[in-house]
């Protein structure tokens, strides 16, 4: 079997790779395990020196990596360059903080001494998606490697060049050759990797379906998992929201990565008094977003990553309209080369429509009118997902109360769009997954939290 990278803007073949055989995969895992037993004995300062070199590599070569992302999955190059910079940030963050986060914690008991220590687990498998092909990997790899683990990556099949580039970054930055390795394999081989006794844990970012399959196999093997899955983030626009700021923020969130983000705004839950004005402003901003060549600096919306994903998105739009939604903008596949889909706005969205119930992974916005705050909160929580949410109000205490106590999501923002930040824990609840990445919580997911008691 071959793995092919296809440019979604031009439909041209970028590169073709032979899939690794199961035997080759097992040899890489064995080498990663051998490396683990050496790597775990290095000091935090040694690991940090390598991690800072990785950060510098990302900054120095951001244009190259941005171009690679644009060519393989259609991300506007300027966004890919910003992604490389964010990856450098997470590398520096854990280089600075890992030793502090994993320092022994001494606890008063009846023992002479008792404390908690954090020890690495071993080889960690990462199954990662294409939409943020560098960031999704680095936000796992930086803390995992700084904790003393080693890693093997099964990346999405349409971004093999990104996967290999990340492997080279770590190797060029002084990490041992097998501390981080890329497995060029398809989904069929993932179960076999999880079954390998040298693999101690699994992290996956992707669809709920993929997460359930990985969790089931890892559960059979009693291996720790962290899952960051799909989302249908609600953004609540209350009657006292600053409408201009809210619209700008909502459009920016909906169009991040050409709409292909698990934490992009998906459902805009707007109280009755704001619906007409919000809709008019929102449609105007979406219409002004330029769609085109991801290598053009003026492009805001590039192609979708694959044609099949674009077609699935269009079907969701069509089904929502057939069930009564009103298409105010877009909603048609362009008659041009590439997997493009225009910024689209659906109004009068109700339960039973894909735009209400499912995740729309592309530049499609669903406007849901509600009577008041109480109904807005109900609609926001009326979802199988629970990744992110946002509320817009000029009453900050009101916004804090709703975000902290009433919205069912792993990350709730007030007057801002949902985003990941190395300093804050990131993850979801319900069918958006479990476990946390980033901050001190993230680095502790793949360590043995060990009690030591001295009589």
Nearest to 146 by CA among 452, 440, 450, 451: 440
Question: How many Å is the Cα radius of gyration of the chain?
Answer: 22
| 3-class DSSP state of 14 | strand
In contact, 76 and 303? CB cutoff 8 Å:
no
Going by the DSSP 8-state scheme, the letter that residue 424 receives in this structure is S
Within a 10 A sphere around the Cβ of 155, how many other Cβ atoms?
26
Going by the DSSP 8-state scheme, the letter that residue 406 receives in this structure is I
**177 given a catalytic annotation:** no
The span from the CA of 206 to the CA of 215, in Å, is 12
Give backbone dihedrals phi and psi of 301, rounded to 5 degrees, phi first: -120, 115
**262 given a catalytic annotation:** yes
Active site residue: 83, 228, 359, 373, which one?
228
The span from the CA of 171 to the CA of 179, in Å, is 8
Q: Each residue of 244-266: b (16+ CB within 10 Å) or e?
A: eebbebbbebbbbbbbbbbbbbb
Whole-angstrom distance between the N-terminal and C-terminal Cα of the chain? Answer: 59
In contact, 268 and 235? CB cutoff 8 Å:
yes
Active site residue: 87, 91, 262, 412, which one?
262
Going by the DSSP 8-state scheme, the letter that residue 301 receives in this structure is B
Going by the DSSP 8-state scheme, the letter that residue 88 receives in this structure is H
Task: Please name the helix (run of DSSP H) or strand (run of DSSP E) that holds residue 380, with its range, or none.
Answer: helix 373-381
Q: Where are the alpha helices (DSSP H) in 256-363?
A: 272-288, 307-322, 354-357
How many CA atoms does the CB half-sphere of 47 hold within 13 Å? Answer: 27
Take residue 450 and report the two structure tokens written for it. Answer: 């060990």
Within a 10 A sphere around the Cβ of 352, how many other Cβ atoms?
11
- Active centre residues (catalytic): 228, 262
């Amino acid at each position: 079997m071959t793995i092919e990278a296809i440019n979604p803007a031009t439909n041209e073949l970028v590169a073709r790779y032979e899939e690794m055989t199961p035997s080759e995969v097992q040899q890489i895992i064995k080498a990663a395990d051998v490396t683990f037993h050496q790597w775990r004995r290095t000091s935090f300062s040694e690991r940090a020196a390598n991690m800072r070199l990785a950060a510098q590599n990302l900054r120095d070569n951001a244009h190259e990596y941005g171009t690679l992302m644009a060519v393989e999955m259609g991300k506007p190059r300027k966004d890919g360059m910003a992604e490389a910079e964010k990856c450098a940030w997470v590398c520096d963050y854990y280089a600075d903080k890992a030793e502090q986060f994993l320092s022994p914690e001494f606890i008063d008991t009846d023992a002479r001494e008792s404390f908690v220590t954090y020890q690495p687990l071993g080889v960690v498998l990462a199954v990662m998606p294409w939409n943020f092909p560098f960031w999704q990997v680095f936000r796992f790899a930086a803390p995992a490697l700084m904790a003393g683990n080693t890693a093997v990556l099964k990346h999405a099949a349409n971004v093999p060049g990104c996967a290999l580039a990340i492997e080279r970054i770590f190797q060029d930055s002084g990490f041992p050759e097998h501390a981080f390795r890329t497995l060029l394999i398809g989904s069929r081989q993932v179960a076999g990797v999880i079954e390998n006794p040298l693999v101690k844990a699994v992290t996956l970012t992707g669809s709920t379906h993929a997460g359930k399959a990985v969790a089931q196999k890892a559960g059979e093997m009693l291996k720790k998992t962290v899952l960051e899955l799909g989302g249908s983030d609600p953004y609540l626009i209350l009657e006292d929201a600053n409408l201009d700021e809210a619209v700008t923020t909502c459009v920016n969130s909906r169009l991040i990565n050409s709409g292909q983000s698990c934490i992009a705004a998906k459902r805009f839950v707007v109280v009755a008094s704001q619906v007409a004005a919000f809709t008019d402003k929102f449609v105007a901003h979406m219409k002004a977003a330029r769609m085109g060549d991801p290598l053009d600096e003026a492009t805001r919306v590039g192609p979708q990553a694959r044609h099949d994903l674009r077609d699935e998105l269009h079907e969701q739009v069509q089904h929502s309209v057939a069930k009564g939604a009103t298409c105010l903008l877009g909603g048609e596949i362009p008659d041009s080369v590439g997997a493009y889909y225009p910024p689209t706005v659906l109004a009068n969205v109700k339960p039973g429509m894909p735009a209400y119930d499912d995740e729309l992974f592309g530049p499609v916005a669903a406007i849901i009118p509600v009577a008041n705050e109480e109904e807005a909160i109900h609609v926001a929580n009326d979802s199988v997902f629970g990744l992110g949410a946002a509320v817009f109000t000029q009453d900050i205490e009101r916004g804090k109360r709703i975000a902290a106590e009433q919205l069912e999501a792993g990350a709730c923002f007030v007057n801002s769009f949902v985003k990941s930040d190395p300093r804050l824990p990131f993850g979801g609840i319900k069918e958006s997954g479990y476990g946390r990445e980033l901050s001190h919580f993230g680095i502790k997911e793949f360590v043995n939290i060990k009690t030591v008691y001295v009589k």
